[in-house]
Amino acid sequence: MKFMLMVRATGDSESGALPDRRALEEMGKFNEEMVKAGVMLAGEGLQPSSKGARVRFSGGKRTVVDGPFAETKELIAGFWILQCRSKEEALEWAKRCPQPMPGDCELELRQIFSSEDFAYAGEDVVRKEEELRSQVEGKQGPK
Residue 71 pLDDT: 83
Same domain? For 85 and 31 the reply is: yes
Residue 70 pLDDT: 86
Same domain? For 13 and 28 the reply is: yes
Same domain? For 100 and 36 the reply is: yes
Same domain? For 29 and 96 the reply is: yes
Instruction: Render pLDDT for 24-47 as a digit per residue (tens, 0 to 9).
Output: 999 999 999 999 999 999 999 999
- 59 and 100 Cβ atoms separated by less than 8 Å: no
**Confidence band of 141 (pLDDT split at 50, 70, 90):** low
Round to whole Å and give the CA distance between 130 and 1.
15
Instruction: Render pLDDT for 98-133 as a digit per residue (tens, 0 to 9).
Output: 999 988 999 999 999 988 888 899 999 889 988 988
Structural domain for 122, as ranges: 114-143
Please report, rounded to a whole number, the percentage of residues in the chain having pLDDT higher than 70. Answer: 97
